[in-house]
Amino acid sequence: MCVSPLTPNRISELGKAFRASKALFSAVELGVFTVLAKGPRDLETLRADVGVAERGARDFFDALVALKLLERDGAGHYRNGSEADHYLDREKPTYIGGELENLNKRGYPHWQFLTEALKTGKSRGDGYLDQYADQSVLEAITEGMTGGARIVAPGIVTKFPWHRYRTVVDIGTSQGGLPVEIARAHAHITGGGFDLPPVRPRFESYVKKQGFSQRLSFHGGDFLRDPLPSADVLIIGRVLHNWDVATKTMLLKKAHDALPSGGALIVYERMIDDARQSSAPGLLSSLNMLIMTKGGFDYTVADLSVWMRQASFYDLRVERLTSELSMVIGTK
């Protein structure tokens, strides 16, 4: 019999994993990848360009090398790794660092209260409308959502039959990150996004900057009170997990009401595997909802399928979007 000997390695690594998150967050915050997207830099130049003091500079940049975000050549010049260059350069439309900035500003500090949230079952978070009263929080959240939208956009753009539909409205659209990518990829699509009224200026300025003001417009409202706008396709992504089951099913019913016959609903989320055995990201996202929201939780494709069928959607199908996220498509 061959039994591999026990080692504490994996536990130690899990316990220190937060340091790697923070090194990535600081690199995004300091603009390391945006600077290096302009060209390689030696240690001193990079240090000066991003405003890092001498003491920790070499360890910091070499840690980013070891994390495979940067590369360092034999002459000691740092350059972006290919993933970092594509996704973490603020000047590129593929930038997803907004999500990391939001995790850094809000997620990381809030997670200090995980034990308390587990003991009490209560979140420390306010509703979005309360949070949006603070402009800096509004910006952090909406840019974070744009980062999140860019992560799923390539999958949603390519794995849905957009040629069969003409209009789309993204529910909880934030800055409109997702409809912009759909409009960019599919020239016949028009529509826009629905979100709370304070988000309007963020949406309109982002959509204008991306050049889609003629095709995408903002619908202000509160989906807890108001009906949803109508379109051939509605998208509800990373929204349902914020709410308790009654609100989840109410929103699915409202989406069904708003769609024309033959219209489609796309729900995307960091889905938990049906057996609840393997998808750590989905289960940890659900604990994030425990910390951040009054009644939210993440769920499996099986859970969602039950709720969508209850709301009278049929012909449900699942498509994987990233290593963590999937979408379920239903037809009215």
Helices (H), the chain: 9-30, 32-36, 43-50, 54-66, 82-87, 97-102, 108-110, 114-120, 128-131, 135-158, 177-185, 200-210, 245-258, 280-292, 301-310
Cβ(38)–Cβ(113) below 8 Å: no
Of 61, 28, 64, the C-alpha closest to 44 is 61
Nearest distance from C-beta of residue 47 to a second copy, angstroms: 10
- Between residues 126 and 273, which has the closer beta carbon with respect to a second copy? 273
Provide the minimum distance between the beta carbon of 283 and a second copy in the complex, in angstroms, as a whole number. Answer: 4
Are 279 and 323 contacting, i.e. CB atoms less than 8 angstroms apart?
no
Q: Which residues pair with 267 in a beta bridge?
A: 236, 328
Of the listed 110, 188, 219, 241, which one is catalytic?
241
Task: Compute CA 110 distance to the chain's CA centroid, rounded to the nearest angstrom.
Answer: 17
Instruction: Compute how many other C-beta atoms are within 10 angstroms of the C-beta atom of residue 104.
Output: 20
Minimal distance in Å, beta carbon 276 to a second copy? 5
Q: Is 186 a catalytic residue?
A: no
Q: How far is CA 209 from CA 14, 180, 205, 308, in A?
A: 41, 10, 6, 35
142 class by beta-carbon count within 10 Å (0-12 exposed, 13-18 middle, 19+ buried): buried
CA separation for the pair 275, 272 (Å, rounded): 8
Bridge partners of residue 330, in order along the sequence: 265
- Per the DSSP assignment, residues forming a β-bridge with 59 are none
Minimum distance from residue 162 beta carbon to a second copy (Å)? 20
Q: 221 or 281: whose CB is closer to a second copy?
A: 281
Is residue 293 classed as helix, strand or coil in its secondary structure? coil
CB of 54 or CB of 315, closer to a second copy: 54
- In the three-class reduction of DSSP (H, G, I as helix; E, B as strand; rest coil), residue 269 is classed as strand
198 versus 281: smaller Cβ distance to a second copy:
281
Considering the complex, state which of residue 22 and residue 186 has its C-beta at the smaller distance from a second copy. Answer: 22
Task: State which H helix or E strand residue 71 sits in.
Answer: strand 70-72
The least CB distance from residue 286 to a second copy, in Å, is: 4
Question: Could you tell me the smallest distance in angstroms from the CB atom of residue 213 to a second copy?
Answer: 27
User: Residues with catalytic annotation?
Assistant: 241
